[in-house]
C-alpha cells in the first residue's frame, strides 16, 4: 500500500498566500489541483486508502464521515489535528469531493470566492472549534468523539450527532465538554431518546447547560448516566415552566 502524503508546513503557508493574492484562484476550479509534488512528506505508519472517494457522498455527511474515519481510523489525535494532512486531502486525494461539495455554492458569491475557498480548503488554526467546522476534519473528529464501541451499532449515536449541522459545528462540537467521551455519550443518548433532531434551540438549551455544569464540577469524574440524569432533570424543570 502507498504511504499517506502530507504537505510541508511551508507549502501550506504558500498555498494560502497564493490564494489570498488571487494567484491560484483558477486552480480551485480545475478538475485537478496542480501542486508541487516536491513539497510533500510521508505521514509515518499511515497508508493512503484506494477507494475512499467512491465511498463519500456530498449529500450525506454521516455516510462520508464514517467512510473517512474507517479509512483513517489509525490516526492519532495529533495526526488528526495536523493542518498539513487535511490541506493535502482537500487539495489532492479528496479534491473532487471538495469541489462537488462547495463549487456551486461558492460560484453564487463571486465577490467572496477567495474567502470561501480559504474557509473550506484550509484550517485557520487547529483549535477544536476550527477542526469541527472544517469540511473534512469535522467529519473525522465527529465520528472519533461520538463512536460507542459498547453498542451493537457503534455508530448509532454518531448518526444522531450528524443529523443536525448546527449541533455538530456550532453548539455541541465546539463545546468544552465534547472532549469528554462519557459526557458526549450521555448527551447524545438523551437527544436520541427525546427525538431532538431539527430544533436548534432545543439542542442549545441542553448543551449550554452541560457547559454551565462544567464550570462548577469536574466533568471527567462522571459517567454517561450522570449526564443523562441531569438533562432529564433539566427537561422536567423546563416543562414545568410552560
pLDDT, tens digit, 9 for 90 and up, residues 165-179: 888 888 888 888 898
Confidence of residue 216 (pLDDT cuts 50, 70, 90): confident
Asked if 18 and 119 sit in the same domain, the reply is yes
Return the C-alpha cell found at 181: 467521551
The closest of 109, 162, 160 to 132, measured between CA atoms, is 162
> Would 59 be classed as within a structural domain?
yes
CA distance 126 to 199: 29
Residue span of the structural domain in which 179 resides: 163-241
Q: Taking residues 20-38, report their average pLDDT.
A: 96
Q: pLDDT at residue 198 above 80? A: no
> For position 42, what pLDDT does the model report?
97
Which one-letter DSSP state was computed for residue 169? Answer: I
> Would 152 be classed as within a structural domain?
no
Asked if 187 and 137 sit in the same domain, the reply is no
Average pLDDT, rounded, for the chain: 92
Out of 142, 173, 192, a domain closes at 142
> Would 104 be classed as within a structural domain?
yes
Q: pLDDT at residue 197 above 60? A: no
E strand spans, 39-89 = 40-47
pLDDT, tens digit, 9 for 90 and up, residues 43-97: 999 999 999 999 999 999 999 999 999 999 999 999 999 999 999 999 999 999 9
Q: Give residue for cell 463519500.
A: 56
**What are the two backbone dihedrals, phi and then psi, of residue 41, each rounded to the nearest 5 degrees?**
-130, 165
Asked if 80 and 170 sit in the same domain, the reply is no
> For position 242, what pLDDT does the model report?
53
Asked if 124 and 21 sit in the same domain, the reply is yes
Asked if 18 and 132 sit in the same domain, the reply is yes
The Cα-based distances of 16 to 87, 140, 195 in angstroms read 10, 23, 42
Per-residue burial over 195-233, b = 16 or more CB atoms within 10 Å of its CB, e = otherwise? ebeeeeebbebbbebbbebbeeeebeebebebbbebbee
> Would 237 be classed as within a structural domain?
yes
Asked if 106 and 167 sit in the same domain, the reply is no
Asked if 190 and 102 sit in the same domain, the reply is no
Model pTM? Answer: 0.92
- Provide the terminal-to-terminal Cα distance of the chain, rounded to the nearest Å: 60
Q: Is residue 5 within a helix (H) or strand (E), and if so which, with residue range? A: strand 3-7
Q: pLDDT at residue 114 above 90? A: yes
Asked if 112 and 180 sit in the same domain, the reply is no
Asked if 134 and 181 sit in the same domain, the reply is no
What's the number of domains the chain is made of? 2
Asked if 11 and 79 sit in the same domain, the reply is yes
> For position 184, what pLDDT does the model report?
94
Out of 90, 108, 142, a domain closes at 142
Asked if 121 and 171 sit in the same domain, the reply is no
Out of 142, 173, 195, a domain closes at 142
Asked if 27 and 131 sit in the same domain, the reply is yes
Amino acid at each position: 500500500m502507498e504511504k499517506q502524503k502530507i504537505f510541508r508546513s511551508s507549502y501550506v503557508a504558500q498555498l494560502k498566500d497564493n490564494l489570498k493574492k488571487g494567484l491560484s484562484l483558477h486552480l480551485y476550479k480545475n478538475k485537478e489541483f496542480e501542486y508541487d509534488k516536491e513539497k510533500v512528506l510521508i505521514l509515518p505508519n499511515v497508508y493512503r486508502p484506494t477507494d475512499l472517494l467512491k465511498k463519500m457522498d456530498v449529500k450525506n455527511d454521516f455516510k462520508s464521515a464514517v467512510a473517512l474515519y474507517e479509512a483513517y481510523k489509525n490516526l492519532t489525535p495529533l495526526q488528526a489535528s495536523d493542518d498539513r494532512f487535511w490541506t493535502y486531502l482537500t487539495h489532492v486525494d479528496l479534491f473532487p469531493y471538495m469541489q462537488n461539495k462547495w463549487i456551486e455554492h461558492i460560484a453564487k458569491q463571486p465577490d467572496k470566492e477567495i474567502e470561501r475557498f480559504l474557509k473550506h480548503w484550509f484550517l485557520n488554526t487547529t483549535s477544536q472549534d476550527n477542526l469541527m467546522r472544517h469540511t473534512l476534519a469535522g467529519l473525522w473528529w465527529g465520528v472519533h468523539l461520538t463512536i460507542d464501541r459498547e453498542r451493537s451499532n457503534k455508530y448509532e449515536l454518531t448518526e444522531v450527532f450528524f443529523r443536525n449541522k448546527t449541533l455538530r459545528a456550532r453548539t455541541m462540537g465546539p463545546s468544552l465538554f465534547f472532549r469528554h467521551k462519557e459526557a458526549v455519550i450521555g448527551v447524545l443518548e438523551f437527544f436520541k431518546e427525546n427525538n431532538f433532531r431539527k430544533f436548534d434551540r432545543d439542542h442549545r438549551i441542553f448543551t449550554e447547560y452541560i457547559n454551565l455544569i462544567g464550570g462548577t464540577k469536574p466533568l471527567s469524574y462522571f459517567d454517561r448516566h450522570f449526564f443523562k440524569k441531569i438533562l432529564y432533570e433539566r427537561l422536567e424543570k423546563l416543562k414545568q415552566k410552560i
